[in-house]
Structure 1
C-alpha cells in the first residue's frame, strides 16, 4: 500500500515538474538554417504555455496564416517572436498568397472568419464554453497585406479574397494579449480585438506597445483603422501611428473599451485621430466594468495635416461618446486629456491640398460626456476656424494650456448647447519653440514659452507615478520623463547636436560598404557614417 502511495506522489511531482516548469517548454525555431523552414510546419493548436516560436528574418516573406487558442499563464505565456535577419530586418508575414496550413483544418469557420486575418485568436471547438485563450505575446514581426483585393488559399485548397474587415491580427476573444515592437503595413485593420455580451466572450487586458503602423485602412471606407479595440482594459502606448493609406476614411485609433489608456504615442490623424465610442457588442457587461467612465489620453503627439496625396486628416480630432445612436450606452464619463501636443496644419482654402473651413478639437454627442484638458500644447498653423467643441459636451480647461490664438467654444455652424469652464490658465503666442517643425519633431527648444507653464492638479498627482512618468524619444519610443513642469508631450531635455533630421517619419539610415542602406543607431557623429565597432 505504501509503495502505491509513493508511486502516486512521485507521478504527481513528475507531472508538476514537466507541465508547470518552463524548463520543459518548447522553443520552435523557424527560418533559414533552422529546425523548421516554414510556418506551416508548426502545429499551432498544440502550443502550450511557456512555448516560444522564434521566427527568423529572411529575404522573402513567410506566407502562412496562423490560428491560436492557447490557454497559457502569466508566468508562462505563449510567445510568438521575430528574430531580425540581415541588416536588422523584421521577419515578414504577408497575407498576399498566404495559405491556411493543414494543422488548422477545422479551426477556422470558412464562412465567417477564415478571410478575416493573418493571425486569428479565438475559442476553438476543442475548448469548453467559458474557456478563453490567455497570455499570448506577439513581438518583433512585420505583418502586411491582409487586405481586401489580396488573396489566400483556404483550408479546402480554394483561392479566396480577404474580407473588407480583414486584420493583420484579429482577436475574437483573448485575456492578456501583448503586441509589441511589431510593424503593420498595408492591412485593412492592423489590430482588431472583439468582445461580446457575456463574461465568457469578454476580452480583457490588451497591451499594444512600441509598434509602427503605416498605410493601413481601406480606400473609401470609414470602417477600418490602425487599431480597433473592444475589451476591458486597453493600453496603447509608445506607438508610431503613421498616416492611413490614400482615400481611407478610418481613424488612427478606434476604441469601444473600458479602462482605456492611450499614452505617449505619435499619432498621424485619420478622419479622427482618436475615436472613443460605445461598446456596441458588449455593452451589458462593459458599462459596468471598472473605469468605463474614465479614459486617459496622456503625453501624445497628435498631428493633423491637410495633404495633397488623398490621405485622410482630421478636422474633428478627438471623438468621445458613441456612434450607434443608442445613447444610453454612450461613454457618459470623463476623458482626461493631459500633456498632449496637438499640431494642426489645416487651411480654409488651399489650391494644393484639401481644405476645411472649421476644425473642432473635441466632439461629444451628448452633454453627459466631459473632457478635462490640462497642460497641453495646441498649435494651429493654418487659418481653419478652430473651436474647442462642436455642439455638445462639457469641457473643463484646467492647469496650463498653450494656444497660438484664442479659439471659440463651439463650432460656428452649430447652435452651441454644451458648456466650457476655464479653471486654469491659457497661454497665447505665435512662437512655441519646436525643435524642428518641418520634420515633425515637436520636442521643446530651450527658449520655448511652454517650459515651466504646467500646473499641478489633483489628477496629475494621482497619475504621476503611473501614466505621466514617460515620454517619446526621437525614434518615437518610450523614455523616462523626469518632471511635469513643461506643457505638452515632451519635457525639455538638453540634447547633443544632431547632424540632420529624418525626412522619412522617424527613421535614419546610412550606407554600408556595399552601398546598401543599414540602420543608423544615433546622430552623434558628423558626416554620412557613424562609428561602428568591427
Structure 2
C-alpha cells in the first residue's frame, strides 16, 4: 500500500509559530542540536514550542509522554520532518528507551502518551499537534526500557495513547504493528485524527484491540486510510464510544466490522453531552472482505448491556459500501428498536446477488432514500423486529463504476449513480470532499449538477 500526506489546505490547521515570543523550536536528528528524542524535555514544553524530529535511515527507539498545555494561538507541535522521498521518521517501540527523569503512569500502553506525568500538576494537556511520524511496534513480545527496567508492552498498547487532554490533533501519521493503533480515553475532549494511515494493528485471536479505539467528548476522523488489521486478529477497524462523533472522507477496509459505534462506558460527561445521541458518517469508502470476520459493516447503539445508555441516531449518507462477499452481507446492526438510522445517497454494492445483501440484522429503524442497491436486496435475513423504509432507490445490477477491477469506484460514464442522489436529511453536514485513494490524498468533491450517489462525484 502506498501512502501520501494529507494536504487539503481548506481544512489543515496551519501552524506558523516562528515569530511567537518565547516559543522555542527544538531540532532533533543527525547533525542537529539534539541527536534523538530522549534529549527533549517533554514534560517542560511551553505554548508555541515546536519539536521537529528529522528523518534518519534507522528508527528512533524512544518513547515519551506530553503533559504540557498549549493554547489555540500557541499550540505545542511535535512534527516529523520527511526526507526527499517523503518518508516520515520512524519511532520504534521495540527496545525503546524512556528519557531520563520522565515518569508517567501506564508506560506499557503507548509509544507516545498525551496525558499526565509525575510533574505535570492538575492542568491537562491542551492544543497539541502530532504530525508526520511513523510509529510502530507497541505490542506484546516487544520490550522497552523504563523506570522499572525492561518491560513488555501491554496487549492494549497503542502507537498514540490520548489519556487526557483537549484539542488534540493527530495528522499525517502512520500507526501500525501495535495492539491498538490509536487509543483515546474518556478524559479526552475535542480530538481530531486526519490524514493518517492506520493498519495492521490488533492481537491475534482477540476481539478487544482495534486499529482505532476512542471514547471522547468530541471526536472527528477525516481523510484517513484504515487498512486491514493484523492477520488473525478479530478487532474492529474503528471502534468508538464518543459524543459528537463525525466519521467523514475516510477509506476503511477490513476489520471484524468497519465501524463499531457503541455506548460510552466510563464517561458520564460524554453521555451527558448534547451531541452524544447523534453520530454522522458520510463521504466514506467502506470495503468488506470475504472471510471469517463478521458480515456486518456497521454496528450502532451499544454493547455494554445498558440499553438506556445506547446512542440513538445515526446519519449515514453519501458513503460507498463495497462487499466482496458472495454470501450474506448485512449493512447495519442497530442494537435495539430505539436506534434509528437515516441512510441516504449511499452506494450499497455486493459482489454477490442482490438477495445476499440485507439492510438490518433484526432490530432498529432504518429510513433509506436515494440509495443504489442491487435488485432483490432484503430488509433482513431473519425475522425483522424493527422497520426498514425505502424510497427513491436506484436498483440495477451494475452501478457503472469507472474501473472496479482496479478499485476505482467513481461513477463511470453513463452510470446510474450520476445525478441520482437526493437532498440530504435535516441536521446533516455538507459533503465537500472525497476520501483518499490507495495512492492519493482526499480531494475536493466537484460540484456538477445534482449530487451523485456515493462518496465520489463523477468526473
TM-score by length of 2: 0.92
Q: Distance in 2 between matches of 1:58 and 1:127?
A: 31
CA distance in 1, matches of 2:60, 2:348: 43
Deviation at 1:361, TM superposition (A): 0.7
Task: Name the CA distance, whole Å, in 1 between partners of 2:269 and 2:44.
Answer: 32
1:119: which partner in 2? 112
Structure 2 matches for 1:96-495, cutoff 5 A? 96-104=94-102, 107-109=103-105, 113-129=106-122, 131-156=123-148, 158-195=149-186, 202-282=187-267, 284-307=268-291, 313-331=293-311, 333-348=312-327, 358-383=328-353, 385-398=356-369, 400-412=370-382, 415-422=383-390, 424-459=391-426, 463-464=429-430, 468-474=431-437, 475-483=439-447, 485-493=451-459
The answer as to whether partners of 1:146 and 1:187 remain within 8 angstroms in 2 is yes
Moved more, 59-68 or 381-390: 381-390
Partner residue in 1 for 2:49: 51
Assess if the C-alpha contact under 8 Å between 1:269 and 1:314 holds in 2: no
TM-score (norm 1): 0.79
Helix, strand or coil for the counterpart of 1:335? Answer: strand
Name the count of aligned residue pairs: 438
The CA deviation at 1:386 is 1.8
Q: Distance in 1 between matches of 2:410 and 2:36?
A: 44
User: What's the CA shift string for 1:434-462, capped at 9, x where partnerless?
Assistant: 222223221221221100100114437x5
Is the contact between residue 48 and residue 77 of structure 2 (CA under 8 Å) also seen in structure 1? yes
Q: 2:249 touches 2:436 (CA, 8 Å); kept in 1?
A: no
Q: Would you tell me which structure has more helix in proportion to its own residues?
A: 1
Equivalent-residue separation in structure 2 for 1:472 and 1:328 (angstroms):
34
1:248-277 Cα offsets, whole Å, 9 max, x none, are 111110000001000010000200100001
Q: How many Å separate the matches in 2 of 1:137 and 1:450?
A: 38
Give structure 1 stretches of 5+ with no counterpart. 1-20, 196-201, 349-357, 494-534
- Structure 2: gaps of 5 or more residues: 1-18
8 Å contact from structure 1 (residues 269, 317) kept in 2? no
3-state DSSP of counterpart to 1:118: strand
CA distance in 2, matches of 1:367, 1:473: 34
Higher relative contact order (CA 8 A, sep 6+): 2
Q: 1:107-136 CA deviation, whole Å, 9 max, x = no partner?
A: 223xxx11100001112343444x211010
User: What CA RMSD, in Å, does the superposition of the two structures yield over aligned residues?
Assistant: 1.7
For 2:177 and 2:258, the matched residues in 1 are separated by 19
Contact 1:239/1:476, CA 8 A, preserved across alignment: no
Structure 2 distance, partners of 1:144, 1:438, is: 32
Question: In 1, distance between residues paired with 2:144 and 2:350?
Answer: 45
List structure 1 segments (4+ residues) > 4 angstroms apart after TM superposition.
Answer: none
Deviation at 1:288, TM superposition (A): 1.6
2:25 maps to which of 10, 24, 27? 27
Question: Quick one: structure 1 residues 477 and 86, their matched pair in 2 at CA, closer, same or farther if it must change by over 3 Å?
Answer: closer
Helix, strand or coil at the partner of 1:102: coil
Higher strand share: 2
Verify the 8 A CA contact 2:162 2:184 in the aligned structure 1.
yes
Partner secondary structure for residue 463 of structure 1: coil
**Contact 2:342–2:425 under 8 Å retained in 1:** no
